[in-house]
Amino acid sequence: MAQNGRLQGLGMLVLSVLLHPVMTTAQQPALNLMPLPASAQPVTGSLAVDSSFSVAFAGHNEPRLERAGERFLRQLARQTGLPLSFKPAKTAKATLVVQTDHASKEVQELGEDESYVLEVTAAGAKLTAPTPLGTMHGLQTFLQLVDVSPSGFAAPALKIQDQPRFPWRGLMIDSARHFIPLEVIRRNIDGMEAVKMNVFHWHLSENQGFRVESRRFPKLHELGSDSLYYTQDEIRDLIAYARDRGIRVVPEFDMPGHSTAWFAGHPELASGKGPYEIERRWGIFDPAMDPTNEKVYKFLDELIGEMARIFPDHYFHIGGDEVNGKEWDANPKIQAFMKTHGIKNNEALQAYFSGRVQKLVTRHGKAVVGWDEVLVEGVPKDIVIQSWRGQASLAQAAKKGYRGILSNGYYLDLGWSAARHYAVDPMSGDAANLSAEEKQRILGGESCMWAEYVNPENVDSRVWPRNAAIAERLWSPQEVRDPASMYARLDFVSARLEWLGLAHRTALRHMLQRLAGSASPVEFAALRTLTEVVEPVKDYTREQTAPAEPSSNTPMNRVVDAVPLESDAGRRFGELVDQFLASACHDPAGEARLRSQLTLWRDNDAVLQPLAQRSFLVKEVAASSQDLSALGTAGLAALDVIAKGQPALDSWKAQQLAIIDQLKKPKAQLLLIPAPAVQRLIEAAAAGGACSTSKP
Amino acid sequence: MAQNGRLQGLGMLVLSVLLHPVMTTAQQPALNLMPLPASAQPVTGSLAVDSSFSVAFAGHNEPRLERAGERFLRQLARQTGLPLSFKPAKTAKATLVVQTDHASKEVQELGEDESYVLEVTAAGAKLTAPTPLGTMHGLQTFLQLVDVSPSGFAAPALKIQDQPRFPWRGLMIDSARHFIPLEVIRRNIDGMEAVKMNVFHWHLSENQGFRVESRRFPKLHELGSDSLYYTQDEIRDLIAYARDRGIRVVPEFDMPGHSTAWFAGHPELASGKGPYEIERRWGIFDPAMDPTNEKVYKFLDELIGEMARIFPDHYFHIGGDEVNGKEWDANPKIQAFMKTHGIKNNEALQAYFSGRVQKLVTRHGKAVVGWDEVLVEGVPKDIVIQSWRGQASLAQAAKKGYRGILSNGYYLDLGWSAARHYAVDPMSGDAANLSAEEKQRILGGESCMWAEYVNPENVDSRVWPRNAAIAERLWSPQEVRDPASMYARLDFVSARLEWLGLAHRTALRHMLQRLAGSASPVEFAALRTLTEVVEPVKDYTREQTAPAEPSSNTPMNRVVDAVPLESDAGRRFGELVDQFLASACHDPAGEARLRSQLTLWRDNDAVLQPLAQRSFLVKEVAASSQDLSALGTAGLAALDVIAKGQPALDSWKAQQLAIIDQLKKPKAQLLLIPAPAVQRLIEAAAAGGACSTSKP
């Protein structure tokens, strides 16, 4: 798939650094595009974008393209501050002429043509695409190209030929554990459009909530949602909103586990005696549907039928994950059924359930998506496996003829860095060894935003900007994988995303203001200095180290809720340290920058402590603040030793590393991110001044 | 009016610093309330605000109070991060019990009772008010009281008795020169509610636009608004939205001048020959209605009748300002009319027009509000004069029996500091010498947001936070006038206002990101350092020094559009300098802080210049950046001289002051705010080390 174009693209990007004035500015990335296109070929010059900018649509047209044109112009006006006319022009003399060949499918399908060609010259721009899907992607590329220049706003002259690497590029948002209002969903869909993702997977039911209005079974949302649910009209609007942006909406109704909220209104579906109420805690719980009860299938048949009419997408997600089987074990009727039908264990019982539900979904004209567990003997080949287990599981499925998407490695709630997600490739590991035909069965991937520690206020910051790196992994050629380039572009895209209404930066600042109360400006600056270099603990540590049992009623107003999952300042400090150690240890500019940063950290605690005495929320991070101070002191000591050019005593090294070990321990569920970089300074100091050779 | 309560309140505020633990923290203002209440009496202890917080309404109730209760709870949840129930409780055991005595008027009237009493104890809170207007003010006070504390969120225990000093406390927004969408108007009304303003004066027609749908004369909005107008339904919604917040809406239709946009659709109203089109430029223009044409009065009768039915408020603003008379002079028919009727000059002709229009307004059941010009011989006593001329004009009117409100001194577009607005008192100057009865005629004041250089993106930042200081001037006792206390509370309120959706901080940061394009984090920090200490030129200098003729089509994406009208960092630097000079010149901590700041400024330009080479919008402030660098150098030199303790040579002083003179000159329509403070350092240096006695 586009192997030549891809390599050409990479070559041309390198070339562009040499040729193009806009792109040659020192340390600026060649093109601020994310995802990077399959191929980009620079041309001399640039296209001025001023108040006279206009766009015209030729070829196939439809109301969706008109709306896309107006949205494009509004966004261009917002990002430039130019007073543009928001109506697409009628003339072929427009600055940007868009040619769309033909309509795409009325209900967007997996694997439709999303390609486009964008040519920008000093005289104008032309965007051509077979379908509106490609057109919309090309418009987003153009928006990313426009930037401030020495002579006004401009887009660099170039030719881009682009298409996605994978046809399924999704974001899942769990709006069941914490309800996420539609306006927040909408702005996240705007973000998906900007980075060319095309599947919004909506996790709509959970132990903690059933979030969709059911007219057939109204007790589902009436008793299962605390009145926090989407009406069917709202859902139809959201689906239209997503379609307008080239995005499919795949609903998920998780069963037979993860379904306590269903049982609040319909205990007869469960395997236990009940009574049931909406679960408030997090975790894996016992309640599960009764796979031996024919009434359950009748109920699901009607419910799936109702939901299949609301959600037009061909795919219908039935979850299927994490059943602990305790209710099944405890129910004599179920045990008897298993014996009668030769069902050996709970896994086989779940397989039986999955098979039955899959047939219901098929009956309503849909194909099943499910987590790894739904791949059981005999299910038809049109299902799609969403793998939380990983590439090996996907590869195994592909060999059996099943298609799959990767989510293992893309769980946004685990707090991984963008670079770590970025390094995860659906085609790596066992998948790399598949035949070409088998590889075709790996459709792409989905990032997953599980919502135990996510609410409407901070969800944007948990999805963005890291999700843009995953979007690039799923769109751009496999060879596009330099994390430094990714981070440079991610910084740029992150700022742009706030223009769409995403609040991943703004909301966190507001949350810090809440923590800080009536802090003085100097105190607030100290709080920012600390919070810029800590991250929440990773993976499932937050749950495991929770001070009290967390639940959906737990306030999310702590520092751990208000800091980004990835610390930019921490990453940049690490880069500075590595540059300093890799080049020449006494590089005075590098040393000065490190000293300045470390001194700031050392002295920060004295400013912050008075605020910690006034705010219980700041008090919680007082120990982290002391740690940052100690880290500054340790780093400065290491620089002093390095400056002397003599190896330090072993006892000094041991003492300093013992300090770092203490500072690496999470406090208030926060990690002090620059600690490993300071450790590298200490190790270099201990090895003596010859540090320029001590690093590769 | 509440003289005793006021003095008691002030005394108690001082007392509170001594007694109350929350309030005794060094350098924190006693109570973060703005406006300060007429009386506040602290009690030991505080009321914990946690997830169980509830509010109940007793006494008179109405749907508006239910909505106010839910809005209050949502806002409390937002500012604390606590998961509160948003439904008012039914029980008298609620944390906050609200008692409202009786309804206020269906259409809110000037001078209704807005008082309330709020008692907070460790056990609970009680809010009592004669009318819902007072209740809503009291709820806002409670929201301001809740802050983070050492043990959780809490409100200090106290008793507040509060009522406004003036019954008319307004904000005017000009949404005619630049159209301001309803969502932006709404969030500004939320801000008004937070600071207890009660009149939204909506400037709806201008040379540049007629912004209201007229069904009687649809050409007014169809040809006079570029399709940017409010429908009648939208206006009714907005009026209901304002009423829900205790705010009256007074519409203004400016006539006979400032009306070119009317003539685009209705040239027959004008005094000239036309043709007319919507004015794009700023300034005072010739077109004016023809006061001698009976058809004009027939038209206005019908239009005022239509608008009077949409806007329920008793007051109707007819503008009346700034007619240059050129069209009248040039029209022989008008000249003949004047001769026939013994109208001596254009002023008298306008008086004739005002008198006629006033009768039309009265006929439709309303009373006229107009600028100073409408006060002409014989107009009835129920009109209200809005004075752009000042207290003398108001006092003169009051002596004649006319009521008035002050706007001179409250023009937000002139870029004055909050302290300068704050020092303007409607009862000062000639007004101070009025009799008690005459003083009653001074109803209050209105801040005015004229919109030549204001659009939906930056309007919040032009209104807020400074408008909160004017709101305090109009609500709080006259003796409340310490600018230091005001600024401390303003900082706090400013952050809180962003929780309401106001974007006065956020939007400016986004605008800087637009200017900066793909700046590195270090470059962006340098841009922030510069932009934090510049302010747009004051008064009407921007118009007078515009590089090209500005118009409604001019992009507003420059630094001058993106910096606050008042520089907090500049003000704080001035305070630091004054503290340093007033205490002891060699106060090492003070000197170190000044040196650190000045060094940062001196070195900032080197970081910023590469960005200026890449962005034309940053390039515009490259000279200001060099000036800031020079200012840093000059300040450091002055500190060096002061450190020596010897007076500097006169030649040095002259040379340094000449530099400062250069730095004080506006560049790119920006002022370098710390320049006068550095000048004080230089003067102190020149006077020798004995600076601790050189300042009062």
- Host H or E run for residue B158: strand B152-162
User: What average pLDDT does this structure show over A290-297?
Assistant: 98
Residues A202/A307, Cβ–Cβ less than 8 Å: no
Task: Return the pLDDT at B571.
Answer: 97
Q: Per-residue pLDDT for A1 more than 50?
A: no
Task: Name the minimum distance, in Å, from the CA of B688 to any CA of chain A.
Answer: 31
Task: Return the pLDDT at B682.
Answer: 96
The residue with tokens 């007869």 is A268
Task: Return the pLDDT at A585.
Answer: 60
Query: Residue B564, Cβ neighbours under 10 Å: how many?
Result: 24
Q: Per-residue pLDDT for B230 more than 90?
A: yes
Q: Which of A33, A85, A513, A572 to mutate to test the interface with B (most CBs of B within 10 A)?
A: A513
Task: Return the pLDDT at B580.
Answer: 93
In B640-671, which positions are buried (b, 16+ CB within 10 angstroms) versus exposed (e)? ebbeeeeebeeebbeebeebbeebeebbbbbb
User: What average pLDDT does this structure show over A174-199?
Assistant: 98
The DSSP call for residue B430 is G
Closest by Cα among A592, A674, A587 to A627? A674
What whole-number percentage of chain B has pLDDT above 90? 88
- Across the interface, whether the CB atoms of A148 and B613 are under 8 A apart is answered no
Task: Return the pLDDT at B583.
Answer: 79
The catalytic residue among A112, A322, A532, A543 is A322
- Across the interface, whether the CB atoms of B614 and A553 are under 8 A apart is answered no
Closest by Cα among B173, B194, B172 to B68? B194
Of A152, A495, A614, the CB nearest to B513: A495
Task: Return the pLDDT at B661.
Answer: 98
The larger pLDDT score, comparing residue A690 to residue A231, is at A231
Could you tell me the end-to-end alpha-carbon distance of chain B, in angstroms, rounded to an integer?
A: 36
Q: Which of A51, A80, A85, A148 to mutate to test the interface with B (most CBs of B within 10 A)?
A: A148
Provide the token pair at B40. 């506040």
Chain A and chain B share a number of CB contacts under 8 A equal to 115
User: What average pLDDT does this structure show over B228-254?
Assistant: 98
Q: Which parts of A27-112 are beta strand (E)?
A: 39-49, 55-59, 96-100
Q: Please state the φ and ψ torsions of residue A289, each to the nearest 5 degrees.
A: -65, 155
Model confidence at B322, in pLDDT bands (50, 70, 90)?
Answer: confident
Closest by Cα among B688, B693, B565, B575 to B638? B688
Task: Return the pLDDT at A172.
Answer: 98
Residues B624/B543, Cβ–Cβ less than 8 Å: no
Angle between the N-to-C axes of helices B588-614 and B521-531, in degrees from 0 to 180, rounded to the nearest 10: 120
Query: Residue A523, Cβ neighbours under 10 Å: how many?
Result: 22
Q: Per-residue pLDDT for B297 more than 80?
A: yes
User: What average pLDDT does this structure show over A116-124?
Assistant: 97
Task: Return the pLDDT at B547.
Answer: 78
Lowest mean pLDDT across A565-574, B283-292, B584-593: B584-593
Contacts of A492 in chain B (CB under 8 A): 518
- Across the interface, whether the CB atoms of B521 and A556 are under 8 A apart is answered no
Contacts of B497 in chain A (CB under 8 A): none
Nearest-by-CA chain B residue for A77: B555
SS3 A618: helix
User: What average pLDDT does this structure show over A482-504?
Assistant: 95
Task: Name the minimum distance, in Å, from the CA of A556 to any CA of chain B.
Answer: 6
Contacts of A520 in chain B (CB under 8 A): 27
Provide the token pair at A647. 């190896």
Task: Return the pLDDT at B90.
Answer: 79
- Across the interface, whether the CB atoms of A147 and B518 are under 8 A apart is answered yes
> Could you report the per-residue pLDDT of B447-493, keeping only the tens digit for each?
999 999 999 999 999 999 999 999 999 999 999 999 999 999 999 99
> Could you report the per-residue pLDDT of B550-599, keeping only the tens digit for each?
899 999 999 999 999 999 999 999 999 999 998 765 788 899 999 999 99
Task: Name the minimum distance, in Å, from the CA of B458 to any CA of chain A.
Answer: 11
C-alpha span between B78 and B45 (Å, rounded): 24
Of B492, B521, B614, the CB nearest to A150: B614
C-alpha span between B38 and B9 (Å, rounded): 6
> Could you report the per-residue pLDDT of A296-330, keeping only the tens digit for each?
999 999 999 999 999 999 999 999 988 999 999 99
Closest by Cα among A339, A301, A294, A334 to A318? A301
The catalytic residue among B302, B322, B438, B543 is B322
Model confidence at A518, in pLDDT bands (50, 70, 90)?
Answer: confident
What whole-number percentage of chain A has pLDDT above 70? 94
> Could you report the per-residue pLDDT of A52-93, keeping only the tens digit for each?
999 999 999 999 999 999 999 999 999 999 999 888 787 778
Q: Per-residue pLDDT for B694 more than 60?
A: no
C-alpha span between A665 and A644 (Å, rounded): 30
Lowest mean pLDDT across A404-418, A637-651, B15-29, B503-517: B15-29
Angle between the N-to-C axes of helices A63-80 and A132-145, in degrees from 0 to 180, rounded to the nearest 10: 10
Task: Name the minimum distance, in Å, from the CA of B455 to any CA of chain A.
Answer: 10
Task: Return the pLDDT at A584.
Answer: 66
Contacts of B511 in chain A (CB under 8 A): 81
Contacts of B515 in chain A (CB under 8 A): 148
Of A151, A491, A513, the CB nearest to B495: A513
Q: Per-residue pLDDT for B107 more than 80?
A: yes
Model confidence at A28, in pLDDT bands (50, 70, 90)?
Answer: very low
Model confidence at B518, in pLDDT bands (50, 70, 90)?
Answer: confident
Closest by Cα among B125, B40, B53 to B89? B53
> Could you report the per-residue pLDDT of A390-439, keeping only the tens digit for each?
999 999 999 999 999 999 999 999 999 999 999 999 999 999 999 999 99
Of A150, A561, A616, the CB nearest to B149: A616
Q: Per-residue pLDDT for B686 more than 80?
A: yes
- Across the interface, whether the CB atoms of A521 and B572 are under 8 A apart is answered yes
Task: Name the minimum distance, in Å, from the CA of A507 to any CA of chain B.
Answer: 10
Average pLDDT of chain A? Answer: 93
Provide the token pair at A474. 């799923």
> Could you report the per-residue pLDDT of B405-427, keeping only the tens digit for each?
999 999 999 999 999 999 999 99
Q: Per-residue pLDDT for B249 more than 90?
A: yes
Residues A383/A375, Cβ–Cβ less than 8 Å: yes
Contacts of A181 in chain B (CB under 8 A): none
The residue with tokens 């109704």 is A253
SS3 B694: helix
- Host H or E run for residue A263: helix A260-265
Q: Is the peptide bond before A588 cis (omega within 30 degrees of 0)?
A: no
Q: Which of B208, B518, B593, B599 to mutate to test the interface with A (most CBs of A within 10 A)?
A: B518
Of B79, B613, B618, the CB nearest to A514: B79
Task: Return the pLDDT at A22.
Answer: 33
Of B27, B81, B150, the CB nearest to A514: B81
Provide the token pair at B629. 């660098």
Contacts of A511 in chain B (CB under 8 A): 81
Kindly give the pairing relationship between strand A670-672 and strand A534-536: antiparallel
Contacts of A25 in chain B (CB under 8 A): 610, 614
User: What average pLDDT does this structure show over A174-183?
Assistant: 97
Provide the token pair at A538. 């990773």
- Across the interface, whether the CB atoms of B555 and A150 are under 8 A apart is answered no
Q: Would residue A222 show up in a list of annotated catalytic residues for this protein? A: no
- Across the interface, whether the CB atoms of A615 and B148 are under 8 A apart is answered yes
Average pLDDT of chain B? Answer: 93
> Could you report the per-residue pLDDT of A259-288, keeping only the tens digit for each?
999 999 999 999 999 999 999 999 999 999
C-alpha span between A85 and A71 (Å, rounded): 11
Q: Per-residue pLDDT for A550 more than 90?
A: no
In A548-564, which positions are buried (b, 16+ CB within 10 angstroms) versus exposed (e)? eebebebbbbbbbbbbb
User: What average pLDDT does this structure show over A454-481?
Assistant: 97
Task: Name the minimum distance, in Å, from the CA of A557 to any CA of chain B.
Answer: 5
Residues B489/B34, Cβ–Cβ less than 8 Å: yes
Kindly give the pairing relationship between strand A403-406 and strand A384-387: parallel
Contacts of A150 in chain B (CB under 8 A): 613-616, 619
The Cα-based distances of B32 to A537, B191, B470 in angstroms read 35, 16, 16
SS3 A654: helix
- Across the interface, whether the CB atoms of B518 and A32 are under 8 A apart is answered yes
